[in-house]
Structure 1
């Protein structure tokens, strides 16, 4: 049985360079502790006896590469996660966005789509869904397919419903989905305004101008240099007076864009200051 700390730091460098050169995925500035832990888990679960075996599989088997990417990227999420955050969106931010003729929102690192569907519900209840577009992006095509289907395990619905109510939900949460055996399918009308696409925060550029960007619980897995690069991407993608929302353990403090933003409340939301 393989033990812990199988892979050495210098082997991680070789592996990540291989992946970047061959496939264009750049994980070299991800948090080293996090990526080492996940690679060790892959080696254990997939029963690789050595670093050489893992390297060979990644270089010669594109299907295994996709499995590797799915394991390295973090896909833990839930609907209305951190309900007080969504309450602030509902009560303070959406009324401001409602003054725009078209509302463009970017959910960066959307994983399997729960956050995008949560936003769609908020927008419907604020009567803003009809004039909104939610761009939901992730590096991982497999989780985007889950988001595209809008089908989630029924055993998660109780938590989703409790979060929704705590966020200030105005309806019976069951109005938004149809239950069937062990699955819940969310109403197709919710995803009419959701545009799903692959996007790599590490290497891809800005693709639109937004009034609200959410990137929650993604940046904690990046090192400081990569975080700052992503913050600059968000700054370039956000309109004046737009809003940037991060996860509960994330902040733009001490970043190169800090002076361009002011905090709004205590739920990790910042407003971009007006600049010429």
Structure 2
């Protein structure tokens, strides 16, 4: 790829991101550029466009193209009880604190297809906390939210889900929570009874409630530094005094302007506690 082509492509990408913001109010302008460039190249190739500019023209004039493009720009790769040691740490160190509250609000930010959401609901059910908890599951991708709300996953994924659940300290069999048919596993509707699904952007939207736990993992690695700081500030303002924040394995508060508002609660699992307000 020539240097001139690279420069032109960079211009095209910035114009496309600006167009998405102006036309549809989706703001990817402060996402890490290397990641955005890689995903837009994939979108251009897979969707059959010769240039990013051609893709932009189609997206601007055809609203049905937007969800397809968002599928490339938003990360939809997850699994239930992903990084089981994280959920074990939640179960063993955070849950005892949460049990002291009469009611709880939990925010799963960037919930993708719902795998992490159901992990938390199942964990809270096993620990006797589900009935006093409201779970907020948010994402900017409407298709992802619909997938999360349906709670249907391929049977080929269940072996990994089950093993993760066991390693996380699960107190029951994961099969207690779903039924199977037509090569799919459908998680029980009761797991969604206390869940609020909502479109929410960490880039543009504001705080919407006071939470006792926010889990946002493997989302901020795709943001640039200013946007990471905005998201962490949003979590800080969303948390109650002594509330908890869980991040992904490759994420940290170390270089954030808001780091002073948190204590490291479980360092190796990137679980932090809000100091106070």
Give the secondary structure class of the aligned counterpart of 2:269.
coil
Q: Deviations over 1:175-198 (max 9, x none)?
A: 111111300011111111111111
The correspondence for 1:273, drawn from 263, 272, 275, is: 275
Match of 2:106 in 1: 105
Distance 1:66 1:131 in 2: 35
Match of 1:92 in 2: 93
> Residue 36 and residue 7 in structure 1: after superposition, are their counterparts in 2 closer, same or farther (change >3 A)?
farther
Shift of 1:50: 2.4
* TM-score normalised over the length of structure 1: 0.96
Distance 1:11 1:53 in 2: 9
Shift of 1:274: 2.1
Q: Is residue 22 from structure 1 mapped to residue 23 from structure 2 by the alignment?
A: yes
Match of 1:155 in 2: 156
Shift of 1:5: 6.4
Shift of 1:94: 1.0
Distance 2:69 2:182 in 1: 31
Q: Deviations over 1:54-93 (max 9, x none)?
A: 1210110111012111210111100000000000111110
Match of 2:122 in 1: 121
Shift of 1:26: 0.8
Instruction: Answer yes or no: is the 8 Å Cα contact 1:7–1:51 preserved in 2.
Output: no
Distance 1:11 1:181 in 2: 43
Q: Is residue 80 from structure 1 mapped to residue 81 from structure 2 by the alignment?
A: yes
Shift of 1:8: 1.3
Shift of 1:52: 3.0
Shift of 1:13: 1.1
Shift of 1:155: 0.6
User: 5+ residue gaps in structure 1?
Assistant: none
Matches within 5 A, 1:225-240: 225-240=226-241
Match of 2:45 in 1: 44
Instruction: Answer yes or no: is the 8 Å Cα contact 1:102–1:131 preserved in 2.
Output: yes
Instruction: Answer yes or no: is the 8 Å Cα contact 1:103–1:132 preserved in 2.
Output: yes
Matches within 5 A, 1:105-254: 105-254=106-255
Distance 1:50 1:119 in 2: 42
Instruction: Answer yes or no: is the 8 Å Cα contact 2:214–2:235 preserved in 1.
Output: yes
Instruction: Answer yes or no: is the 8 Å Cα contact 2:242–2:275 preserved in 1.
Output: yes
* TM-score normalised over the length of structure 2: 0.96
Instruction: Answer yes or no: is the 8 Å Cα contact 1:11–1:51 preserved in 2.
Output: yes
Instruction: Answer yes or no: is the 8 Å Cα contact 2:13–2:52 preserved in 1.
Output: no
Q: Deviations over 1:105-161 (max 9, x none)?
A: 000000010101000011111111100011000000001111111111011000000
Instruction: Answer yes or no: is the 8 Å Cα contact 1:5–1:40 preserved in 2.
Output: no
Distance 1:206 1:7 in 2: 38
Shift of 1:7: 6.4
